[in-house]
Structure 1
Amino acid sequence: MSTLSYVNVFARDIEALSAFYSQLFGFPEIEAIRSPIFRGLDTGKSCLGFNAHDAYEMLHLAEHADSRGVKFLLNIDVDSPQEVDRLVPVAQAQGATLVKPPYKTYYNWYQAVLLDPEQNVFRINHML
């Protein structure tokens, strides 16, 4: 069976953006794979990677480097609805923008939608 190993995010500032997610959710950095153009965080089930824009060339993605729009959606699951509520203002204090306050979805999740400091979309979720 295939499994998700990483979700990688292209970031203008890999240190600041990886620190944002590390501090907000307590994900430790995987220091053994740190490089000048990469930071990785252990989420417990998979990993979250942050690539500097220099990686576009390395991956032959240079023609896509200036693309606009939402290219991915990070979903971070937490232990309770109260944890969703607790983390939203913490995220905002660290530079996130609240797009949609915590709410119960039609598929019975409790979640909030935010933009990280580089305007990438992420959700904080709890499956009810």
Structure 2
Amino acid sequence: MVPPVLRGTEYLYLLALGYGSGVPGPLVFVLLTAVIGHHRDAVFRPGCGVPPPAWIARAMLGWDGRMLFIACGGALGWLPFAYGVLAGYLVVLLIAEATGSWLATPVTTLADVPRNERGGADASTG
């Protein structure tokens, strides 16, 4: 139960602090979308047999690093700027890592797909 509670706490923290401090709604939305995209990637990619690289977990700052960055931005009075910088940073990281993963994935050609006597790819012969 710890990971869902930590994720929910991070989402509520970013949402409440952003809306309560007057950060533009679209900026809060983009930051939350980037964080949720990272969490989704970290959970579902290992299930597909392709774990995310170790550097991406460190580069995404962790939940505590992201919350601390936003808290420091709020303490300095730069909360909208902090939301924008963090959102941009996370989006660029996600896009760069996803693009690198997609380009590194081998492509299967039609000649590589096994066929049966009926001619269909992996069709049942029973």
Q: TM-score, normalised by structure 2?
A: 0.29
Q: TM-score, normalised by structure 1?
A: 0.29
- Richer in strand (by share): 1
Tell me which of the two structures has the higher relative contact order, counting C-alpha pairs closer than 8 angstroms and 6 or more residues apart.
2
